[in-house]
Amino acid sequence: METDRPRLALVYSMLDPAGSGAAARLIELLGGSKTQCPRAAECHELPDGTLLAGFPLEQVRFEFLDETPDPRADAVVVLSRHASQSGRPTLTTHHTGNPTDSAALGGEPLRLAISAPPLSSLLLRLYRAEAENMGLLEKYEVSLEATHHGPTGNKKPLVFIEIGSTPEEWRDRKAQEAMARAVARALEEPLPRCEPAAGFGGTHYPRKFTMLHLEGETCFGHIIPKYAFARGVPDRIIADAVSSTWPTPARVAVIEKKSLRAADRWRVNAVMESMGVPVRVV
């Protein structure tokens, strides 16, 4: 069974070759007409009425998505690049927020944005399917990412869909097309009915959570990784990882046992018990 389709808005940074390239591929694929959107340097209305807007600043600073491009949108999808020191080629989705007191990449410290687990699940599964159809899986890894960077202040849920992790991949026209095709299909398909979850533990690319997410029965919103706990994650953020989730709070907390210290597992369990949220260990 599936839920109804949400009204989406699509945004990207004009400073980002991956996001702006995927936006261009999307317009090539679907068509659309130029229009005006507040604060946007360029804006298109796609044939189904979805607004696609480019802004002249980095996407981690997009703290205005409740007002533009579409105040009526239920959720926002951010077309984006991903950078990493490892340089691994990746096709990813993730939610935004700063689970520790560091906010080096936008947003406020110790604040999580609103996550959208079913939308992330739909996007990542479509992204993998399009990448497979285009022969990209020999080069690119499809994965969730842990919650990181801004923006954090929007009331609308948002999902980043990304190409990583170097300029070579950001400018890869095939990867841009795979993103565009995945987003185009997401505009047409209802959200999957899945069990929304918050994840605790794992690496930045949490393999176990990704496998569950792609299988479709469990869909992840915020993922607080092992390295964030090492830097200090307060109990309030553990609780927010469950409550800051759309369209309903997370119904289960999933802990990757091997990657979290016993003391951190105990804290997660204690917070979940106080909230009446079951815990599952993988």
Instruction: List, for residues 248-259, the tens digit of each pLDDT value.
Output: 999 999 999 999
CATH architecture of 195-281: 3-Layer(aba) Sandwich (3.40)
Residue 4, pLDDT score: 79
Domains in the chain: boundaries:
8-188, 195-281
Q: Do 143 and 225 meet the contact criterion of CB atoms below 8 Å apart?
A: no
Question: Which SS3 state, helix, strand or coil, does residue 125 take?
Answer: helix
Q: What is the mean pLDDT of each run of 10 residues along the chain (282 residues)?
A: 78 98 98 97 98 98 98 98 91 98 95 98 98 98 97 98 97 98 97 97 97 94 97 98 98 97 98 98 96
Query: What pLDDT is attached to residue 66?
Result: 98
Q: Do 195-281 and 8-188 fall under one CATH topology? A: no
Give phi and psi for 225, each to the nearest 5. -80, 170
Look at residue 60 in the predicted model and tell me its pLDDT: 97
Give the model's pLDDT for residue 86. Answer: 85
Count of C-beta atoms within a 10 Å radius of residue 49: 10
pLDDT, position 44: 98
Q: How many residues in total does the chain contain? A: 282
Q: Which homologous superfamily is 8-188 in?
A: AF0625-like (3.40.630.50)
pLDDT reported for residue 216: 81
Calpha distance 91→78 (Å, rounded): 13
Instruction: Confirm if 41 and 23 have CB atoms less than 8 A apart.
Output: no
